[in-house]
Each structure stands twice: as structure tokens, then as C-alpha cells.
Chains A and B, each alone.
Chain A
């Protein structure tokens, strides 16, 4: 399969995502510059972490207007799997492709550490290879990952099972101590109603090899492969997005 890794000015996890897809997973990956207008036949799109446009104004606020984003939106509307990691998640929020917004971490500090996140739902193209309740050790690195949405939006997300990842302790309990940034309901990642667009603050692409402390994140990429090859997870079908 082929992953498109979108590169914004200020992306810094694009190489990590590319490496995870191309070298660890052994699939194809291609960088797509944010001013491009084609995803070049990719089966899945990754909006990587970083500080697109310096995070000026608000995180993701300017990147969402990059020319490639119209194509990403079209791809997503056709059911194509889109993964937003960290800054990529923030871009999806600003673009309205996922509900809610990010606030400054409650500590007002940039937090860079391994955290534990529980996989809440496995019927998405990025979690279908996980066990339900799987607790993953994955790093975070952000200053604005304090997820916020109005209570009625949170209630809808919970009702629709759109909360995909939650910060928890080792037992999978979403305690306040396990919440690194103050996110509402310990939300670390969520999906859209179509379940094909997933955003998360932790960096699975930085946890794909034991040599760097954890290989727990690889399952996210394995899920994408399984989704594309077998049509497992979400409503995605390969022909639907063939170009």
C-alpha cells in the first residue's frame, strides 16, 4: 500500500512517519508538499506532527488552508483513511474534519514524555489490528494538546464511540494523574462519524521499534495496512478512492 505523508512548512515528524511506513512496515510512502494538489494515488494519508507555519495564530489554523487540504478533504469524504498525528490532529480540528479544539496544556508547559493510551475502539482503519482495551506506550510532545469540546459534543462523541484513544494508567483506567494535558474525558484521539478520519496527540510513528523505547505504535500502521488490503475497519473500500 501507499501512504501519503503531507509535508507542511514546519512539519518535523514527517520523516518519522515516512520511516515507520516505508522502513518498519515495509510499505510505500511518499512525501506530498502542502502546495501540491494531488495525493498521487495514495491509499492512506498522514498529516504528521510538527509546528506547521510556526503554530502562528493557532496550531493548525493556517495549515488547514494549504492547497493540499482540499484534496485531503475530498479523499476523506470518499472514505479514504486519514490519520492526523499531533499537529496533524490539530490541523484536522481546525479544518472541521474532526470536532473540538485544542487549548494550551493545563500545566502551560510543553510536555514531552511517554504516556499510556488505551485503544477504546478498534473499528477504525488505524486501530483494527489492536485488541479492545489495548494499552499502548507512546510518546507525546506538545504544548497544546488539551482537547476541548462543549459538553453536548463530548456526549455525542461518547454515544457514537468516536473516542478512539484515552490517556489511562497501566490498568486502562482514565485517571486524572494519567492525563498529561488536561484533555476533557482524558481524550487522546478521536474519529469522525464516518470513522475513517482519526486524530491523536500521541506519536505512534515514534514508537515503532524497541530500540527507541517502544514498538507499541506500530499497530496503528499495521491497522492501516490491514484496512487497505483487507478492507477491515471503517467503511473504507479501496476502489472508492482509486484515482
Chain B
């Protein structure tokens, strides 16, 4: 089963990389892009039988290692359904 984990800086945290990318896009003429927040994306291939089991494991991994709760939050998507 595959879990997608998106880790992003909390809204209250300044993102120097996102700001630099925003500035670069403006230089390229994309003035419609108002803001960019840069984050991380993980694909976890998980040996689990049920989506909720995979989600729980992915959340544990995100809490423990993939994200730093001081500055980041995360969102999880489970993409594969169980094939019986």
C-alpha cells in the first residue's frame, strides 16, 4: 500500500526558500503567483492490509521522523486500495 506524505512549514513560519522561488517566478514574469511555500513529499511503500493501518503507520513515521512538529505540519494520502 502506498502512502503519500506532504510535509510543509506551518503558516506562521517564514519560508526563505519559498520566498526566493516566489521572487524568481516574479522575475520570470509570473506576477500572478502571489506566494510559494516549499515543502517535502514522501512516498512510503507500506506492507499493510488496510488503508487505516497504512495511514496510522505513515502518521507515526511523520510524527517521529519525516516532520519536525516545531516548524512543520503534514498531510497523508493513502493511494492504493486493498486487493483482496
Residues of B within 8 A of A104 (CB): 16-17
Contact with B along A44-73 (1 / 0, CB 8 A): 000000000000011001100100000000
Instruction: Determine whether the beta carbon of B16 is less than 8 Å from that of A57.
Output: no
**Nearest chain A CB to B11's CB is how many angstroms away?**
12
Instruction: Determine whether the beta carbon of A108 is less than 8 Å from that of B17.
Output: yes
Residue among B12, B15, B65 making CB contact with A57, cutoff 8 Å = B65
Residue among A61, A100, A105 making CB contact with B16, cutoff 8 Å = A105
Residues of B within 8 A of A150 (CB): 12, 70
Residues of B within 8 A of A108 (CB): 16-17, 20
Contact count band on B: 10 to 19
Instruction: Determine whether the beta carbon of A101 is less than 8 Å from that of B68.
Output: yes
**Nearest chain B CB to A202's CB is how many angstroms away?**
20
Pair count A-B, CB < 8 A:
39
Residues of B within 8 A of A101 (CB): 68, 70-71
Instruction: Determine whether the beta carbon of A146 is less than 8 Å from that of B66.
Output: no
Instruction: Determine whether the beta carbon of A94 is less than 8 Å from that of B68.
Output: yes
B41 close to chain A: CB less than 8 A: no
Instruction: Determine whether the beta carbon of A148 is less than 8 Å from that of B68.
Output: no
Contact with B along A107-143 (1 / 0, CB 8 A): 1100000000000000000000000000000000000
Instruction: Determine whether the beta carbon of B16 is less than 8 Å from that of A106.
Output: yes
Assembly CA distance A99 to B71 (angstroms): 11
Assembly CA distance A182 to B13 (angstroms): 12
B30 close to chain A: CB less than 8 A: no
Which residues of B from 17 to 73 have beta carbons under 8 Å from A? 17, 20, 65-66, 68, 70-71
Q: List 21 A-B contacts (CB under 8 A).
A: A57-B66, A61-B68, A65-B65, A94-B68, A99-B70, A100-B70, A101-B70, A101-B71, A103-B14, A103-B15, A103-B16, A103-B71, A105-B16, A106-B14, A107-B16, A148-B13, A148-B71, A149-B70, A150-B70, A182-B14, A182-B16
| A contact residues vs B (CB 8 Å cutoff) | 57-58, 61-62, 65, 93-94, 99-101, 103-108, 146, 148-150, 182
| 5 A-B pairs with the lowest CB-CB distances in the bound complex, closest first | A101-B70, A101-B71, A104-B16, A108-B20, A108-B16
| B contact residues vs A (CB 8 Å cutoff) | 9, 12-17, 20, 65-66, 68, 70-71
